[in-house]
Structure 1
Amino acid sequence: MGSIRIEGSSAVVTGGASGLGRVTAARLVELGAKVVLLDLPTSPGAQTAKELGERAVFVAGDVRTEQDAERAVAAAVELGPLRVTVNCAGIGRAGRTVAKDGTPYSLDAFRQVVEINLIGTFNVLSRAAAAMAATEAVDGQRGVIVNTASVAAFDGQIGQCAYSASKGGIVGMTLPIARDLAASGIRVLTIAPGLFETPLLGTLPQPALDSLGAQVPFPARLGRPSAYAELVAAIVANDYLNGEVTASMAQSAWRLAEAEAERPAREELASDSVRPRAKRCGSGRLKPLHDGFQRNRAPRRPCPGRKPGHWV
């Protein structure tokens, strides 16, 4: 079985007007693909497509809308067999579940984040998968779908209830969708970036960005969108990757920086409540996450002091 041939194929990249999506689209164009950029009408998508050259096409639309997703996929199919789809569209709206003034987090805001990040991802990938399944297989493969989650799917911080929920959903659906599409020769993978130089972080002052980057073990900087694009290209080229979630090294910086920033709030919460410590029996302690899909437990064994037949 060989890898997907990008040259001469078409691709759909959501959020392709800027950030990770723009650089990924540019990389796919360099590799010979014809790329459809799906982004909002208010985005600089038309200008981006013009800058990328004649092999790039902009389709204005919303990833939450079925018709817009279908239009983007149809535009890609007209350019060539659809082999690659990369979902980069996403937003974040920070806020505590209950604010300090007692106001609950806006349900409309929560719904918007989940609809764009999670439902929008599924909307586009499902329609892209249908188009891929209709193409002729090459060495048993028909296409690759790459979704974008976040380290927040695993280590969500204060104020990230909606964002973490949406990204956690992307992580959770990666493996079952990969299994769904295996018979069609379509691979499905997810990238969970840490801190990257994207428009989502563009509002932070430069000293704050420098501080965050310095906490990455190595290399001590924020991730560059080009690294994400290269990882997408590597995923497409490696035909043995499927159903996996790949997290970036920069997640260490995310954990350290967010933990330090939110320490006063956590101390305040801890002082206002008493958290009972869970009791465990035997050696059935949870081990660290191996990947985004499972937790491994120690072998079960009889629990001392309990009736026969009780296991942990």
Structure 2
Amino acid sequence: MLIGAHALVFSGTFDRPGLQHSIEGTKHAGFDLIEIPLMDVTSFDSALAARMLQDNDLAVTASLGLTADTDLTSEDPAIVAAGEDMLERCLDHVATMGGDVLCGVIYSAMRKYMAPTTARGVRHAQAAIGRLAEKAAQRGIRLSLEVVNRYESNVFNTGRGALDFIAGIDREDVSVHLDTYHMNIEESDLFQPVHDVAAAGRLGYVHIGESHRGYLGTGSVDFGSFFRALHDVHYSGPIVFESFSSAVVSEELSNTLGIWRNLWQDSDDLAAHANRFIRDGLHAVRTIDSH
């Protein structure tokens, strides 16, 4: 099991200085892995990132959220094709960096929709994800689809919803990406969804985030139940801390993510605390076996 941090905890840009700061910050905080958001697929230097990752002995995954121009659930085939093309380029970056996961909102635009999905749009996304999963597998990469709240996608907002969507894809290697921040909004609890997704053999990636995106343990997320569920199902995949502050990310991204108030200023302190919190929580539930 690798414990990681999202690169946006440290930097809002991923040129040479941004990569260096986020990778070195992640390593210094004690994490095993960094998740790098592919915010600018065209200019991102994955070869440079690979060298920095090797120098710091860090594993890597990558993520992104699609836009209206690359939305796989669009009824416009040209937009779906643009999204599929961009995700193929993302796979190239992941492979160059030596990563094995591309995750996030890679099935629809990450935005507030003003209407439900259409059956045709969902079929477009399922077909595109199926094709991308095959190309990913050829590179030793798997896709994990993040379950986000109703204000960031209209395709699915719960673990069971994600399973229904994946059932329409004829592949066994597409997994579900659970995130405690979104689960805290949409799920009835943080225990049963882990069991549901794991029982289907689809739990592939986990984000740890507090209800207000700040320091872990200072909001309303029931981390005790979540960690116990992960232990119950013998989850061994990546667990990645995610938090945002406009002290780090750009104004544009802050507005997209709804960061209207900052709960932290010091990336290093926040990350070191999160690393301890996650590892301590996982250790605590492991001791239950000896009770």
Higher relative contact order (CA 8 A, sep 6+): 2
The alignment's TM-score, normalised by the length of structure 1, stands at 0.33
The alignment's TM-score, normalised by the length of structure 2, stands at 0.34
